[in-house]
Amino acid sequence: MSKLLAAGWKSVSLVDVVEHPSFTLWLCGCNLMCPFCHNWRIAERDSKICKWIDIAEILEEVVASRFLVDYLHVTGGEPLMQYSSLRDLLTGAHRAGLMNSLNSNLTLPVKYLAYLVEAGVVDHVATDLKIPPSNLFGLPEKSTLVLWRNYLESLKLIMESETPLELRIPLHKGLTVEVLRKYLGEVLPYISRNETIVVLNQLIGEPFTNPRNPAWCREYCGVGEELVKAIVEALSDVGFKKIVVRSIPGFT
Ligand code: SF4
C-alpha cells in the first residue's frame, strides 16, 4: 500500500465535523497561501513536522478508534494534492465501517475531487468560502480567478453527487455584508440551502494563533459582534437553516 505525507492525527476530535466525533488526519502540502492560515507549516511541507507514513499504519490507528468516532476527517494542508493515495486510505476506512469527511479548499481542478467522489469514498465535504478570494487566497489575481472557477465547479459536483456539505466562512474585517451577497450570488446555484451547515469562523491573530502573515491578521482579524450578527442575518435571509458561529483561528 502507498504512503501519505502527513503531519499527524488526533484519534478523537469533537471540533472538526459539526455534530460528529472524528478521527482527524492532517495531510501536508497546499496550493493556496492564505494569510490567516495557522497550519502554514503543514501547508508548506515543513520537513520537521511532515513525514511519509504508510497508509496501513494510519488505518491501524483509524480502526483502533472506530468505535469512538463517526468519520475519518482528512484535512491539511490540501488533501486533494495526494488524491491517488488518499483514495486508498478512504477505501480502507470504509471497509473498517467509518464514513469519510474531506476538508478541501476545492480550488484544484475538479477532476481530483471527481476521482474520489466517483469512487464513492466521500461521505461529507467541508470547505471554506474564502471571500473575497483576492484577499484570502494569498495568490496573484490571475491564478485566483482560475482557482475560483475550480471552486465553483467543485461545489457543483458536490451538489450533483448529493454529498453533505459544511460551508465554513472565515470572518475578517474585509468581509462586509455587500461582499458576502456578491459571492453568495455566485455560489448559491451550487448549494442546497436546506441541508448545508454554515460555520462562521471568527479569525483570531497573535498571541492566540500563529498566522502565516501576522501583519495581515493585525489588520483583518478580530471582527466585532455586529458584523457577526449582520452576516448571520444575511445568510438567514437567503434561506440557510443551520448556522453555527465559532471563534477559532485560521481553521482549514
Ligand atoms: S488555510 Fe487551508 S487552504 Fe489556506 S493555505 Fe492554509 S491549509 Fe491551505
Give residue ranges with CB within 6 A of ligand 1.
30, 32-34, 37, 39-40, 43, 76-78, 105, 250, 252
User: 13-47 pLDDT, tens per residue?
Assistant: 999 999 999 999 999 999 999 999 999 999 999 99
DSSP string, 93-137: HHHTT-EEEEE----S-HHHHHHHHHTT---EEEEE--SSHHHHS
Distance CA 72, CA 91 (A): 11
pLDDT of 34-81, one tens digit each?
A: 999 999 999 999 999 999 999 999 999 999 999 999 999 999 999 999
Q: What is the pLDDT of residue 80?
A: 98
Q: What is the mean pLDDT of residues 213-222?
A: 95
Q: Which atom of ligand 1 is nearest to the CA of 43?
A: 7
Task: Take atom 7 of ligand 1 and give the residue whose Cα is closest.
Answer: 77
Give 247's pLDDT tier (boundaries 50, 70, 90). low
Q: Whose CA is nearest to atom 6 of ligand 1?
A: 37
Dist CA 55 CA 5 (whole Å) = 10
Mean pLDDT comparison of 144-148, 193-197, 221-225, highest-scoring range: 144-148
Instruction: Give residue 190's identity as a one-letter amino acid code.
Output: Y
Give, using CA atoms, the residue closest to atom 1 of ligand 1: 37
Average pLDDT, the chain: 95
pLDDT digits over 102-116, tens only?
A: 999 999 999 999 999
Domains and CATH numbers, the chain: 3-246 (3.20.20.70)
CA-wise closest residue to 55 among 75, 31, 80, 84? 84
Mean of the pLDDT values across residues 79-98?
Answer: 97
Q: Write the pLDDT tens digit of every residue in 176-208.
A: 999 999 999 999 999 999 899 999 999 988 888
Confidence of residue 1 (pLDDT cuts 50, 70, 90): low
CA-proximal residue: ligand 1, atom 4 (nearest): 34
